[in-house]
């Protein structure tokens, strides 16, 4: 079954820029903030999702080492429930004919928001309005259901499209 998506473009911005943007009825906003520090966004967006997780990462080795204490050790980090919420939101927004643009923001508009916007562009073939120069690869790969192998370290070096290989050092 072929699904038709109606989104035209996606961009990523800083929290300050998002907080000063005029909402539009054809634009969805995905707000990524640190836990307990929500953005002060104007009302009136076509759709809005707020998720809270820090700009950090963990490896499979750290997950294994933490065991049953994983969630306690990694409070505030991106978890599967964040991934599910983001994917569900993107799916709903992409299928909404009235929405033509998605804006994703995080604190500085450089890492978490870029990762989410790049995922949306890659998965739904949306036009990415800005060049990607860096991103939180952990967030990007979590959205793609991938995790760094045990013993490997995530690197957040600048990334140039379309070469999206994960750089790991062991």
CATH of domain 9-169: 3.90.190
Give per-residue pLDDT as tens, 150-161. Answer: 444 444 333 333
Cis peptide preceding 162, ω within 30 of 0:
yes
User: What is the residue extent of each domain of the chain?
Assistant: 9-169
Residue 33 CB coordination number (10 Å): 19
Give per-residue pLDDT as tens, 71-113. Answer: 999 999 999 999 999 999 999 999 999 999 999 999 999 999 9
Give per-residue pLDDT as tens, 112-136. Answer: 999 999 999 999 989 999 999 999 9
pLDDT of residue 7: 59
Helix (H) or strand (E) holding 41: none
Q: Tell me how far the alpha carbon of residue 142 is from its chain's centroid.
A: 9
In angstroms, the CA 165 to CA 159 distance is: 9
Quick one: 119 exposed, middle or buried, by C-beta within 10 A (0-12, 13-18, 19+)? buried
Please, which residues have CB within 8 angstroms of residue 160's CB and are 6 or more apart in sequence?
Answer: 132, 133
**pLDDT value at 148 more than 60:** no
In angstroms, the CA 32 to CA 107 distance is: 8
Closest by alpha carbon to 7, among 164, 117, 106, 107?
117
């Amino acid at each position: 079954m072929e699904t038709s998506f109606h989104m035209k473009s996606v961009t990523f911005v800083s929290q300050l820029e998002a907080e000063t943007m005029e909402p539009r009825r054809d634009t969805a906003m995905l707000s990524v903030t640190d836990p307990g520090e929500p953005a002060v966004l104007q009302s009136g967006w076509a759709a809005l999702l707020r998720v809270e997780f820090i700009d950090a990462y963990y490896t499979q080795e750290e997950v294994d080492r933490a065991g049953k204490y994983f969630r306690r050790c990694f409070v505030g980090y991106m978890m599967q429930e964040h991934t599910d919420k983001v994917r569900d939101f993107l799916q709903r927004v992409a299928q909404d004919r009235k929405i033509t643009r998605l804006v994703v923001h995080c604190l500085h508009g450089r890492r978490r928001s870029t990762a989410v916007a790049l995922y949306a562009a890659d998965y739904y073939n949306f036009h990415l309005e800005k060049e990607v120069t860096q991103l939180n690869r952990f967030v990007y790969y979590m959205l793609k259901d991938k995790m760094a192998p045990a013993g490997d370290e995530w690197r957040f070096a600048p990334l140039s499209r379309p070469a999206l290989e994960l750089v790991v050092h062991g």
